[in-house]
Structure 1
Amino acid sequence: MSPLIALRAFDDSINSNSSVDGVSVVKIIEYVVIGIVVLSLLALGYMGWRHRYNLKLLGEAIAHRKEKHALAHGRRTKDVQ
């Protein structure tokens, strides 16, 4: 049974007088849960993008360090045109 169906069943089982300014308490809970899920997905997407970006920067830093090391020993890692 999905959580929204369970909430609606709970809403039907309680008194119809349980509302805040005409909005069912369960309806408010539904919107809060949906909002939390959406914000969690946005945060996960941002963290994934940030992780990929950091890996790119790390790769560039390692390549630069290898080039610097090779030049210090009189070698070149890339062909100069």
Structure 2
Amino acid sequence: MKRYPLAPGHGVNLRSGPGTGYSPVKVLPEGVRVPINCEKPGQTITGPYGTTALWDNIADGRYVSDACVNTGSDGYVAVRCS
């Protein structure tokens, strides 16, 4: 599975759902590359890679904002989460 780099110079919150209202599970350190299992819309976030409502599922029930992941795209790069 392809892995995508997180924004350099930033720790990124891994959350239990697609928004800041969901509990942070842990902080992913800079330089980590993450798989994207699926993506879904959620809270709009502004980050190093722009402003988006797209959230990336990187593990079972674990999400990071696509604004913090360098996917090379402003849209979906994986299937939509069900």
Interval of TM-score (by shorter of Structure 1 and Structure 2): under 0.3
Query: Of Structure 1 and Structure 2, which has the larger fraction of its residues in strand?
Result: 2
After TM superposition, the score normalised by the length of structure 1 is: 0.18
Structure with the bigger RCO (C-alpha within 8 Å, sep 6+) is: 2
* Larger Rg computed on CA atoms: 1
